[in-house]
Chain A
Amino acid sequence: MMKVVWSGVVAAAVLLGASSAYAQATNTGSLNVSATVAAKAKLTLGTSSLTFADADPDVTATMTSAALPLDVKARTSATGAVTLTVLAGGDLVAGGNSIAISNLTWTATGTGFQAGTSNKTLAQTVGSWVGSGSPSGTQTFSLPNSWAYNTGTYTVTLNYTLTAP
């Protein structure tokens, strides 16, 4: 009977291969990646109310509010027009008395923001931009302080609309 002893020979062959027979091997795979970016608009007002403190018309001819921070975030196309407008809910009213809303004006800071005059029928532009981004600025309101006003606490609601097509 012939018995063939393989074990030592196989081990030697494997070791020989390990030291000299290997060449670099490569294999590739691919993965397709897609991301959806949809239009969005988000407006944040720094406060929900502003107050003009009472003042002597001879000393303070124009009442000025604190600055209202405005944070605009918009995602649109590269050439999409982003607009921020404000529309007054009516005139400033205190019971049966009123002050015309056109007396309420504002100045603005920040890129793309602009000054304007309040209106109760036609939305007025507060800011305009092109393309996506997150500009911020401030809006400071002014109201002439007239001796002709009747006493009272006058209020009005301003509605802001941010549009990103």
Chain B
Amino acid sequence: MLVAAVAVAAGPAPAAAQTANGTLNAAMNGLARLSLSSAAITFPDADPDTVPNVPASQGPIGVTAKARTSVNGAVTLTVLAAGQLRSGVNTIPAANVTWTATGPGFSGGTVSATTPQTLGTWSGSGVRTGTQAFLFRNLWTYSTGTYSVTLTFTLTAA
């Protein structure tokens, strides 16, 4: 809108002109939108001696965080597990899932079932894209089974 207004102002000046002021109110409310390239990831079975940290079969997931906030408004993206990885009555600590990340403002971390862990922090409005590659700590002590947990990502634009 600002560019269009400048173009009008830069046109040839008429022989006679009259000016008047108009008011345009543009409401720019805070907005946050998060998208993940995948809704699920799986860690395949592997020998703990040869693959101590198992990467997800799907590879890294893409993360896009769109935020509209104040000039210096804090934008944060966190991850929280709904609980431990569970297979029936057997569990594996959520902390045995870690991640590495790429992309400006994104950071690696360890999944927690109690405290949201930071995946990314930024300042101000913008669209930020990155990747998150999960790793599963592979131990001999695990009981056999198919373990699962849901991770909740929260994007906040202050």
Contacts and interface: CB of A to CB of B under 8 A. Distances in A.
Given A26-B156, A30-B152, A133-B141, A36 B44 contact: yes
B150 A3 contact: no
Contacts of A1: 14, 16-18
Contacts of A74: 140
A133 to B, nearest CB: 6
Interface in A1-59: 1-7, 9-11, 13-14, 17-19, 21-40, 42
Contact of A37 (B36, B143, B156): B143
Interface stretch (A76-84, A94-102, A106-114, A120-128): A76-84
Given A29-B35, A34-B42, A21 B156 contact: no
A27 B155 contact: yes
Contacts of A9: 21-24
B153 A13 contact: no
Contacts, number: 201
B38 interface: yes
B158 interface: yes
Contacts of B21: 4-5, 9
Size category of the B interface is 35 or more
Contacts of B152: 28-30
A26 B71 CA distance: 17
A78 B36 contact: no
Nearest to A131: B143
A36 B26 contact: no
A134 B69 contact: no
Given A5-B19, A32-B148, A23 B70 contact: no
A36 B16 contact: no
Contacts of A13: 23-26
B148 to A, nearest CB: 4
Nearest to B17: A3
Contacts of B150: 30-33
B153 to A, nearest CB: 4
Interface string B130-143: 00001010001111
A7 B156 CA distance: 31
Interface of B: 1-2, 5-6, 8-9, 14, 16-36, 38-45, 47-49, 54, 61, 67-71, 73, 85, 87, 89-90, 92, 97, 134, 136, 140-158
Interface of A: 1-7, 9-11, 13-14, 17-19, 21-40, 42, 73-78, 80, 131-134
Given A24-B156, A37-B87, 12 more contacts: A1-B17, A3-B9, A9-B21, A17-B27, A21-B29, A22-B69, A28-B153, A29-B153, A33-B85, A37-B145, A42-B47, A133-B141
